[in-house]
């Protein structure tokens, strides 16, 4: 199949312009597989042809479909389990103490993909239900991808997705079997609100006590990571937390946040900032 460097550059450029994501090398050489279904449906036989169609801008639906296909939605329940333990045993108790008077907790999972991260938080808080009884707890999951958000809202996961990260006891306690798949029980599903949102747009209204932005900024160029960190800092309460993915850091990218000494992967807003 024909795939000139120009076509690759043009498709990668489209993704970066829309989402901030740079097309990872591993995905670059898989472009043919990733975009194959679109080529087949349009009955065209080269990525060059597709890149040409997209570059005219005449078909916004096609452009959206190409961007969607190039996004990486890799996720799992309780991804990097240690950090969820840290939240349960340390960060959430600290927030519970700090918010004891207003009894309100706001959590934002930014770049939540198909919802596993946000639902992991809902399950974690449910396991601590005695602590949060009578509290107004809000969990918001957002992603740039309408397709990912639609799946998140439905709370329906294949056997493969459900098994990734979820102990069998939690799967059985919190999901209903739905033919070959698993659907989160309505009581838990209702605790999370999902919306499409681009991290380069202004953040959702109000301050959050905990913002998770994990494995999203990994493929952004440093300047764009800095832009997002500045926006996220505005969205986090002064004594709130930012949680990044394993291997991600704010170091050399922003001076608005600093690592929390107690939990790896967690950051606090710098008080002097």
Ligand X SMILES: C[S@@+](CC[C@H](N)C(=O)[O-])C[C@H]1O[C@@H](n2cnc3c(N)ncnc32)[C@H](O)[C@@H]1O
Residue of 30, 83, 27, 64 whose CA lies nearest to 218: 27
Distances (CA, A) of 251 to 51, 226, 255, 260, 265: 36, 10, 8, 13, 12
Is 226 a binder of ligand X (CB under 6 A)? no
φ, ψ dihedrals at 18, nearest 5°: -75, -40
Binding residue (CB under 6 A) for ligand X from 3, 12, 21, 269: 21
Binding residue (CB under 6 A) for ligand X from 7, 11, 20, 254: 20
Minimum separation from the CB atom of position 195 to ligand X (A): 11
Minimum separation from the CB atom of position 43 to ligand X (A): 28
* Residue closer to ligand X (CB basis): 20 or 155: 20
What is the Cα–Cα distance from 50 to 38, expressed in whole angstroms?
Answer: 9
Cβ proximity of 47 and 7 under 8 Å: yes
Binding window for ligand X (CB under 6 A); candidates: 6-14, 82-90, 106-114, 185-193: 106-114
Minimum separation from the CB atom of position 255 to ligand X (A): 22
What is the Cα–Cα distance from 196 to 183, expressed in whole angstroms?
Answer: 21
Minimum separation from the CB atom of position 228 to ligand X (A): 8
- Determine the 3-state secondary structure of 165 from DSSP: coil
Is 148 a binder of ligand X (CB under 6 A)? yes
* Residue closer to ligand X (CB basis): 43 or 74: 74
247 CB-side CA count, 13 A: 7
Is 123 a binder of ligand X (CB under 6 A)? no
Cβ proximity of 107 and 138 under 8 Å: yes
By CB under 6 A, the count of residues binding ligand X is 24
What is the Cα–Cα distance from 80 to 1, expressed in whole angstroms?
Answer: 38
Is 65 a binder of ligand X (CB under 6 A)? no
Is 260 a binder of ligand X (CB under 6 A)? no
Minimum separation from the CB atom of position 134 to ligand X (A): 29
Binding residue (CB under 6 A) for ligand X from 11, 67, 71, 253: 71
Tokens of 11: 């498709």
Minimum separation from the CB atom of position 102 to ligand X (A): 28
Parallel, antiparallel or unpaired: strands 181-184 and 175-178 = antiparallel
Binding residue (CB under 6 A) for ligand X from 25, 58, 60, 74: 74
Is 215 a binder of ligand X (CB under 6 A)? yes
Is 140 a binder of ligand X (CB under 6 A)? no
Minimum separation from the CB atom of position 112 to ligand X (A): 6
Which residues is 137 bridged to in the sheet?
105
Which uninterrupted H or E stretch holds 256?
none
Is 141 a binder of ligand X (CB under 6 A)? no
What is the Cα–Cα distance from 70 to 67, expressed in whole angstroms?
Answer: 5
Binding residue (CB under 6 A) for ligand X from 14, 19, 47, 248: 19
What does the binding site for ligand X look like in residue numbers (CB under 6 A)? Answer: 19-21, 71-75, 79, 111-113, 117, 143-145, 148, 198-200, 214-216, 245
């Amino acid at each position: 199949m024909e795939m000139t460097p120009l076509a690759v550059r043009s498709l990668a450029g489209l993704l970066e312009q829309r989402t901030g994501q740079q097309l990872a090398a591993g995905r670059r050489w898989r472009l043919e597989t990733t975009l194959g279904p679109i080529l087949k449906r349009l009955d065209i036989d080269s990525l060059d042809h597709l890149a040409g169609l997209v570059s005219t801008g005449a078909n916004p639906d096609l452009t959206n479909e190409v961007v969607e296909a190039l996004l990486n939605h890799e996720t799992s329940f309780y991804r990097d389990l240690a950090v969820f333990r840290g939240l349960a045993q340390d960060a959430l108790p600290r927030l519970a103490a700090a918010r004891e008077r207003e009894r309100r907790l706001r959590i934002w999972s930014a770049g939540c993909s198909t919802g596993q991260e946000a639902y992991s938080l809902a399950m974690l808080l449910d396991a601590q239900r005695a602590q949060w009884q009578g509290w107004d707890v809000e969990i918001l999951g957002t992603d740039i991808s309408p397709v990912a958000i639609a799946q998140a809202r439905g709370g329906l996961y294949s056997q493969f997705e459900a098994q990734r990260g979820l102990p069998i006891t939690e799967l059985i306690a919190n999901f209903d079997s739905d033919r070959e798949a698993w659907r989160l029980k309505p009581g838990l599903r209702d605790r999370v609100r999902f919306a499409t949102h681009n991290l380069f747009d202004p953040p959702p209204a109000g301050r959050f006590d905990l913002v998770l932005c994990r494995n999203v900024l990994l493929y952004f160029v440093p300047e764009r990571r800095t832009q997002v960190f500045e926006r996220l800092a505005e969205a986090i309460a002064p004594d709130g937390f930012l949680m990044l993915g394993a291997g991600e850091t704010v170091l050399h990218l922003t001076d608005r946040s600093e690592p929390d000494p107690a939990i790896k992967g967690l950051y606090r807003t710098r008080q002097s900032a």
